Amino acid sequence: MKTLLNPLIISAFIVIMLLGSLAQLMYGSSQSSKWHYIIQRYYMIVYLPRGMYIDLRVGLSGMLPPRNYSGTWITWYKNGNLQSKVKINKGEEMANVWWNEDATLYKKEYYDSKGYLQKREHFKNNKLIESISNALTIFWYENGVKKSEEYYKDHKLYGLRIYWHKDGTLNKKEYYDSKGNFLKRMLFEKGQLVKTEVVE
């Protein structure tokens, strides 16, 4: 009887451990590990208890953090690649980074303490192609050369807008008043001023 009992106890212990691990993976915090998030987001979402489902607030981009959450909220694609990292303070986003499903960098955003967007950067093939801040917006060609630089005030063009060719030489400069109205354009060839256009 003793020899039969030992394998039975060991088997029962193993089954209980496996069930406990599975339950923790299915119902534990989705932020415990990548696998917790993937299983809960893609396989268990319809089976989560009502309170857990409501608390998580599922959105189009995945499971959202509970209200008034503070910390870094991490989401994953089904294939195991990182989707996003969002720094949150009392429910307000402070910064976030997003990746494409193929693990290439897609977007970065930075917010002030009141939750207003201060800067957004877009990437293609891990190269910065656009940078928009509260006042300055910059675009780049895929070869890394700056394409344009423009200033905004109250969401309107303001001051100077500059364009460059793919080889980095100056293309044109445009000037705008405080209301976003066009004032003057200066055209360049091989970096030299060739023509000036003014509003009359």
Q: What pLDDT is stored for residue 119 in this prediction?
A: 83
**Residue from 127, 125, 147 nearest 137 by CA:** 147
pLDDT above 70 covers a percentage of the chain that reads 88
* Rounded mean pLDDT, 59-75: 77
Q: How far apart are CA 65 and CA 88, in angstroms?
A: 9
**Amino acid occupying residue 45:** I
Residue 53 clears pLDDT 70, i.e. is over it: no
Q: How far apart are CA 84 and CA 74, in angstroms?
A: 6
- Going by C-beta distance under 8 Å and a sequence separation of 6 or more, which residues neighbour residue 114? 92
Residue 116 clears pLDDT 80, i.e. is over it: no
By three-state DSSP, how is residue 131 classified? strand
Q: What pLDDT is stored for residue 196 in this prediction?
A: 92
Q: What pLDDT is stored for residue 22 in this prediction?
A: 80
Confidence of residue 3 (pLDDT cuts 50, 70, 90): low
Establish how many alpha carbons lie within 13 A of residue 124's alpha carbon, considering only the half-sphere containing its beta carbon: 9
Residues 150/134, Cβ–Cβ less than 8 Å: no
Beta pairing partners, 198? 184
